[in-house]
Structure 1
Amino acid sequence: MRTADRMAMPRASSGLAADTIKVFACTALCVLVAETIGNVSVPLGGSYKVVLLPLLWALLLGAVWGLAANRLPAPVRIAKRHQTLAALLLQPALMLFIGKLGLMVGGNLPKIFDAGWALVFQEFGHFFGTMIFGLPVALLLGIKREAIGATFSVGREPSLAIIGEKYGMDSPEGRGVLAEYMTGTIFGAIFISIFAGFIAGLGLFDPRALAMGAGVGSGSLMAAASGAIAALQTPEIAKDVVTFAAASNLVTTTIGTYFTLFLSLPFTVWAYGVLEPILGRFGRAASPAAEPAAAAAKTAAAAPQEAAPAAKLSPATILTVWIIAGLMALIGNTITYKIIPDAAVFAGLAILLGTVIVGYGAYVATRKVVPAVVWVSLVAMALTYPGTPYAAEITALTGKLNFMALATPLLAFAGLSIAKDVPAFRKLGWRIVVVSLMANAGTFLGATLIAQFFMH
């Protein structure tokens, strides 16, 4: 190795460490400000209201910070490399949130089993609701085959992979799924939180049905939707909301790739062929100019991932993320939820960290065939399942950590990563944004309606 290379390596490592520390510091500041703002209720007339949660403020603060990068002095600037790093750090941080949800689900599995067919069949609403609500709107707006990619699913990472393999990311279908991904990343949590809160405020649906509708297969979107629903319920029902949302999200995550590949996508292609000659004539052609394949692929690769921990981060960095994200959660746990950090709180955090470490270890030991989110969820549920030794004690200790406090750092990481995707997002046009939001609304409403039917 040349002397220049040996000298460059420590500097590169030092630079990465400095960037990581800076991203952690900025994330913690976003969390602190967001939790200080707290829950904000927005009246909608009569007894209806929408509750805007700290996680939304964290997302917005991070996004504004990143978008204002060129106007800020260097010491506080969130450059593109910081935004990319924030997206990478989001992935292992998500595991901590998944672990907490699994600990909550385990103790409530008897209630979930009682839901029976409602939990099973509501998944059809998740996977077909996007097309039913989004595709007609897309065609009426004059969008062509981009509508297939934008409406066959909620457009998370597995959907990008499916469309990329089948059509290519430079195809109309590829541009459509990329638009759905961008919309979900930039606006998804804000939109689904307000929309889910509004639907819950109408009082038409069982809170458990709404919770199952919130499990769309994305950790951040599920957190935003279930949090808005839970904020309108009594404390006891709010716990059920979180439990059923987590269970639904786990089911959606585990079977989602196969469902979208073999059912949702073929059905959407068929529906497009049937509806486009009828509805397409009402809207002028609005397909954007073709985006180069390389640019699309680069955008997709740089976008934040939610399905599995980042492969590019070292084990030491991943462990550091879990510890720091857990400590960040104590900010909201103290400020918003008034739980003073004591020995029990730190014991609960230690159990949560241990759960994630064991689950991730199983993921690595099994050669990453099964997603990490599944392993972490299984380990967590086993710990608190009724009948497991010390399940009640583990539930009590980990219950000291509010799940929404754990969600706020996730949205802060996501917010700090958004700015890097805005240039590509602008190329996709406002019509595809409307369609993407309709698809997100459709997956929530579709699952909620089916769950409500089977529960009543």
Structure 2
Amino acid sequence: MEAQFTTVSRDTSWLRLAALFVCASICVIIAEIAGPLTIPLGGAYKVTLLPFLWALLIGAVWGTVSTRLPPFMKVDNSIQRLASAALQFALLLFIAKLGLLVGGSLPKILTAGWALAFQEFGHFFGTAVIGLPIALLLGIKREAIGATFSVGREPSLAIIGERYGMSSPEGHGVLAEYITGTVFGAVFISIFASLVTSLNIFHPHALAMGAGMGSGSLMAAAAGAISAQQTPEMAKEVAAFAAASNLITTTIGTYFTLFLSLPFTVWAYKVLEPILGRGKGQPVEATPAFTQSEQVVDKPEALSIPQILTLWLGVGVIGLAANYIAFKTVPDAVTVSGMGIILGCVVVGYILYKLARGVLPAVLWVSLVAMALTYPGTPFAAETVAMTGKISFLALATPVIALAGLSIAKDLPVFRRLGWRIVVVSLAANAGTFLGGAFVAQFFMH
């Protein structure tokens, strides 16, 4: 995790971390006060826009217009880069909360059986099945391989970079998917998942497994949108199933994309390109070449251990504030203790991650620690569930997504060079991985 970080000036890093907390708090408070918005689309169809979506948009717009703001209101590039670094660590709190839900629901999750095991095929082949034909119909060439073989997170960048090089057409495609997912991914998947949920053609558990796409922010957005249309009890099950699915996708996803989905996408491109890509008039120009600096998509700044601990504590406090505004849960001794348990899971999980020398991802260790605390039969599991249950996973999602929004503006110069066609393809790939996972899960559940 830290190997990709650059060095931060110690003289200013703490001040910028404090500024980041202030900016994130403002985004979260405004978003939670605004609350959810349900947009009817006719009949039973509807889209629910949740507070974390407002937090993301506020952060993104704030960073974009910062050059026109007074100095004390600016979210400059250094804060945006710090937000990108903080996001990776802040996500662990959200993962810990979901792990606590998974532990208590593990017996029920295991009843999903083959649905949970095989939904992974839907995730990774769904991107190509939906995204690749659309790319070819739009006239995109080999960029389509990089843009549609996965949802384009960091491991996908590494796989394509090693196999083809980032200056190749495939490299431009995966870069486009990465940037599109960063800028629009959470917004799009939240709206899309809400719409699909309103169709009532998938069981909520199947939709939840579709939400586990291997990206913490995308999973949070999709699971939140699905949960908004469920009963409180089913909403907890949705969060648990989404977390379990996301854990599987995160741990084995790199190998799945490397050995299965990438070869499949390359093969499908060779078969479909002569059929769908032929006779479309003038060929579409390839994605413009990126400069060396532009090819380094995410080079966040380094955080020291004290700063990481401060970050976790700060995000926890903001989460408690969001929980109070949204769900009227006063931060009493029980709620604060619940947040302490979540923070403890993160700290212990991260220590195990460091002791294992990063062989397995930090999200796995944090999830395992949290799951162990609430697994039926574990001493004090019921008490742990009671304390942590007063903190909604949506309340923790809002500050995490706010950090994602504050980090977006730094990537916009690269994003503008990608073109609308590759953006459409990237969003189609995100829709495909969600629908693919949900469809396979639904098939095996029924």
Query: 1:39-54 residue pairs with structure 2 within 5 A?
Result: 39-54=36-51
For residue 298 of structure 2, the aligned residue among 297, 301, 309 is 301
2:407: which partner in 1? 417
Instruction: Provide Cα deviations, 1:308-328, integer angstroms capped at 9, x if missing partner.
Output: xx8x21111111111000100
SS in 2 for 1:108: helix
Cα 1:235–1:282 shift into 2, 3 Å: farther
Is the 8 Å Cα contact of residues 140 and 282 (structure 1) preserved in structure 2?
no
1:113: which partner in 2? 110
2:32: which partner in 1? 35
Query: 1:217-366 residue pairs with structure 2 within 5 A?
Result: 217-283=214-280, 284-292=282-290, 294-298=292-296, 300-302=297-299, 312-366=302-356
Amino acid corresponding to residue 283 of structure 2 in structure 1: A
Instruction: Provide Cα deviations, 1:373-432, integer angstroms capped at 9, x if missing partner.
Output: 100000100111001000110011011111000010111111111011001011110000
2:204: which partner in 1? 207
Instruction: Provide Cα deviations, 1:11-38, integer angstroms capped at 9, x if missing partner.
Output: 9423221111111110111001000101
Q: Distance in 2 between matches of 1:292 and 1:213?
A: 33
Is the 8 Å Cα contact of residues 288 and 417 (structure 2) preserved in structure 1?
no
2:125: which partner in 1? 128
TM-score, with structure 2 as normaliser: 0.96
Instruction: Provide Cα deviations, 1:206-252, integer angstroms capped at 9, x if missing partner.
Output: 11001100111111111111111110011111111111011000000
After TM superposition, give the deviation of residue 282 of structure 1 in Å.
4.5
SS in 1 for 2:46: strand
SS in 2 for 1:42: strand
1:139: which partner in 2? 136
1:179 matches 2:176: yes
Is the 8 Å Cα contact of residues 104 and 384 (structure 1) preserved in structure 2?
yes
SS in 2 for 1:301: coil
SS in 1 for 2:373: helix
Instruction: Provide Cα deviations, 1:43-96, integer angstroms capped at 9, x if missing partner.
Output: 111222211101000000000000001110111111111111110111110111
Amino acid corresponding to residue 288 of structure 1 in structure 2: A
Instruction: Provide Cα deviations, 1:324-362, integer angstroms capped at 9, x if missing partner.
Output: 001001122111111111000000011111111100000
Which runs of 4 or more aligned residues in structure 1 lie more than 4 Å from their structure 2 counterparts after TM superposition? Answer: none
Is the 8 Å Cα contact of residues 170 and 290 (structure 1) preserved in structure 2?
no
SS in 2 for 1:17: helix
For residue 428 of structure 1, the aligned residue among 418, 424, 435 is 418
Amino acid corresponding to residue 55 of structure 1 in structure 2: F
- In structure 1, the gaps of 5 or more residues are 1-10, 305-309
Cα 1:148–1:177 shift into 2, 3 Å: same
- In structure 2, the gaps of 5 or more residues are 1-7
Identity of aligned residues (%): 64
Cα 1:12–1:182 shift into 2, 3 Å: closer
1:4: which partner in 2? none
Q: Distance in 2 between matches of 1:287 and 1:325?
A: 44
Instruction: Provide Cα deviations, 1:161-192, integer angstroms capped at 9, x if missing partner.
Output: 10011111111000000000011100000100
The CA RMSD over aligned residues, in Å, is 1.2
Q: Distance in 2 between matches of 1:204 and 1:135?
A: 25
Is the 8 Å Cα contact of residues 288 and 428 (structure 1) preserved in structure 2?
no
1:394: which partner in 2? 384
1:80: which partner in 2? 77
1:376: which partner in 2? 366
Is the 8 Å Cα contact of residues 23 and 86 (structure 1) preserved in structure 2?
yes
Q: Distance in 2 between matches of 1:81 and 1:109?
A: 42
Bigger drift between 46-55 and 29-38 goes to 46-55
2:5: which partner in 1? none
Q: Distance in 1 between matches of 2:370 and 2:54?
A: 29
1:3: which partner in 2? none
Q: Distance in 2 between matches of 1:112 and 1:59?
A: 31
Amino acid corresponding to residue 321 of structure 2 in structure 1: I
Is the 8 Å Cα contact of residues 137 and 276 (structure 2) preserved in structure 1?
yes
Amino acid corresponding to residue 409 of structure 1 in structure 2: P
SS in 1 for 2:186: helix
TM-score, with structure 1 as normaliser: 0.94
Amino acid corresponding to residue 135 of structure 2 in structure 1: A
Amino acid corresponding to residue 22 of structure 1 in structure 2: A
After TM superposition, give the deviation of residue 99 of structure 1 in Å.
0.6
After TM superposition, give the deviation of residue 289 of structure 1 in Å.
4.7
Q: Distance in 2 between matches of 1:215 and 1:399?
A: 21
1:163 matches 2:160: yes
Amino acid corresponding to residue 393 of structure 1 in structure 2: E
SS in 2 for 1:46: coil
Amino acid corresponding to residue 31 of structure 2 in structure 1: A
In the comparison of the two structures, how many residue pairs are matched? Answer: 438
Q: Distance in 2 between matches of 1:12 and 1:422?
A: 25
Q: Distance in 2 between matches of 1:429 and 1:273?
A: 23
After TM superposition, give the deviation of residue 286 of structure 1 in Å.
2.2
Amino acid corresponding to residue 415 of structure 2 in structure 1: F
After TM superposition, give the deviation of residue 293 of structure 1 in Å.
5.1
Q: Distance in 2 between matches of 1:426 and 1:145?
A: 20
Is the 8 Å Cα contact of residues 146 and 287 (structure 1) preserved in structure 2?
no
SS in 2 for 1:407: helix
